[in-house]
Amino acid sequence: MKFSWLNISVPFMNNGPPTITPVSVNWFPNRRCNYECHFCFHTSTNDFRLDLDKAKRALRMLADAGMKKLNISGGEPFLQPQYIGEVFKFCKEELHIESCSVVCNGSKVTEKWLDTYSQYLDIIAISCDSFDVETNMKQGRAEHGTSRTHIDTVFKVAQWAKERDIRVKINTVVTMCVCLLQLFGSPLTLTVIIGKKI
């Protein structure tokens, strides 16, 4: 089967009904990000974003096929705050999706957004590799690779979410940088192995 408007083919649907139920869907609406994590595999810098009406149509098809959970990731999803907010609203109000979640770096989350859309969001996952500023800097886990505010941001957004009954997760990318800092506590050692995933 081919969805021409999305320009994707679904091979397992060529000979009858789908054999896979997309219970949990992870969607990357766009890959742009304001952070510069060295290990990040989202190297695309294009600005493509599916039109909201088409996105809703695709989500409805996924819900019809069995979607119960939607997670939005990126890139940084909150570079398009209204877009993802409207997606979550649609998923809850129209599709009655059980769980809506987002993975973000926290830097663009605002209380205004949470006041508008928190009722449609179940879980917010914030990326943080360490509670040591220097480790995050070495990982590139920083706005434009230079800001030193990430840890404060994580705690601030976690508190805002908690106040609005949104569950909070911390997503950590475990690299040699993180591990060896904990093992040896030596930044000098780390400069050699920054960016290598284990």
List the structure tokens of 88.
Answer: 């979550």
Q: Does 75 bind ligand SF4 (CB under 6 A)?
A: yes
Type of residue found at 115: D
CB of 24 to ligand SF4, least distance (A): 20
Q: In which order are the strands placed within the sheet that holds 69-72?
A: 24-27, 69-72, 99-104, 123-127, 167-171
Q: Does 154 bind ligand SF4 (CB under 6 A)?
A: no
- Residue of the chain from 67, 70, 71, 76 that contacts ligand SF4 (CB under 6 A): 76
Q: What is the number of other CB atoms lying within 10 angstroms of the CB of residue 128?
A: 22
Helix residue ranges, H only, the chain: 52-64, 81-93, 111-117, 133-139, 150-163, 176-184, 187-193
**Active site includes 40?**
yes
Strand partners, 26: 71
Q: Does 80 bind ligand SF4 (CB under 6 A)?
A: no
- Residue of the chain from 25, 29, 30, 33 that contacts ligand SF4 (CB under 6 A): 33
Q: Please, which residue, 48 or 188, has the CB nearer to ligand SF4? A: 48
Buried b (16+ CB within 10 A) or exposed e, 8-45: eeeeeeeeeeeeeebeebebebbbbbbbebbbbeeeee
Burial-class residue 62 by CB neighbours within 10 Å (0-12, 13-18, 19+).
buried
- Residue of the chain from 71, 127, 136, 175 that contacts ligand SF4 (CB under 6 A): 127
**Active site includes 33?**
yes
Query: Quick one: DSSP state of residue 102?
Result: E
Contact mark string toward ligand SF4, 82..121, x via CB under 6 A: -----------------------x----------------
Type of residue found at 183: L
**Active site includes 100?**
no
Q: Please, which residue, 76 or 122, has the CB nearer to ligand SF4? A: 76
- Residue of the chain from 6, 13, 40, 133 that contacts ligand SF4 (CB under 6 A): 40
- Residue of the chain from 35, 78, 88, 160 that contacts ligand SF4 (CB under 6 A): 35
Binding site for ligand SF4 (CB under 6 A): 33, 35-37, 40, 42, 74-76, 105, 127
**Residues with catalytic annotation?**
33, 37, 40
